[in-house]
């Protein structure tokens, strides 16, 4: 069996990541948590860190009409309280929670499979960033 690297043309893919940044299609994002879909990068998600997650942040996932949602919780895996993500459950959208690096890798795989996916990437933002 021969394996081939497939890279979907014209879609958002993570091309790098670290503890405090992600790179999407070669562009570096820091100090701003964001929602990413195969065709959109939403920089106005306004999550300054994991502890500031609210119900409205998960409701923003639904607007993207995904079949699956991923949440990258930063440097380490942290699980949000189920009441925060209840809107996703009620909408029939699966939620997978993982550290940000794993979320980036999983997102890329799902995009390559042609899945309707949205990922929320939490990048810890300094309070002075105004997020």
The whole-number pLDDT of residue 125 equals 64
Q: Is 49 exposed, middle or buried (0-12, 13-18, 19+ CB in 10 A)?
A: middle
DSSP states of the chain as a string? --------TTS--EEEEETTEEEETTEEEES--EEEETTEEE------SGGG--HHHHHHHHTT--SEEEEE-SSS--PPPTTTTHHHHHTT-EEEEE-HHHHHHHHHHHHHTT--EEEEE-----GGG--
Q: What predicted TM-score, i.e. pTM, was given to this entire model?
A: 0.89
The domains located in the chain, with CATH, are 33-124 (3.40.1230.10)
pLDDT band at 113; cut points 50, 70, 90 = very high
The whole-number pLDDT of residue 130 equals 39
Asked whether residue 4 carries a pLDDT value surpassing 50, the answer given is no
pLDDT band at 11; cut points 50, 70, 90 = very high
Of 59, 86, 62, 57, the C-alpha closest to 73 is: 57
Name the least confident of 3-12, 51-60, 92-101, 119-128: 3-12
The whole-number pLDDT of residue 31 equals 80
* Distance separating alpha carbons of residues 88 and 12, to the nearest angstrom: 22
- Predicted confidence (pLDDT) per residue in 50-72, tens digit: 999 999 999 999 999 999 999 99
- Predicted confidence (pLDDT) per residue in 93-102, tens digit: 999 999 999 9
pLDDT band at 86; cut points 50, 70, 90 = very high
């Amino acid at each position: 069996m021969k394996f081939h690297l497939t890279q979907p043309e014209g879609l958002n893919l993570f091309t790098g990541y670290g503890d405090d940044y992600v790179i999407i299609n070669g562009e570096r994002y820091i100090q701003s948590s964001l929602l990413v879909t195969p065709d959109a990068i939403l920089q106005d998600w306004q999550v300054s860190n994991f502890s500031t997650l609210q119900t409205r942040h998960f409701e923003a996932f639904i607007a993207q009409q995904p079949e699956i949602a991923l949440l990258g919780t930063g440097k380490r895996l942290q699980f949000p309280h189920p009441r925060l993500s209840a809107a996703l459950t009620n909408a029939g959208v699966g939620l997978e929670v993982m550290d940000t690096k794993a979320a980036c890798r999983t997102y890329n795989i799902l995009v390559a499979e042609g899945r309707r996916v949205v990922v929320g990437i939490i990048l810890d933002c300094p309070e002075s960033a105004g997020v």
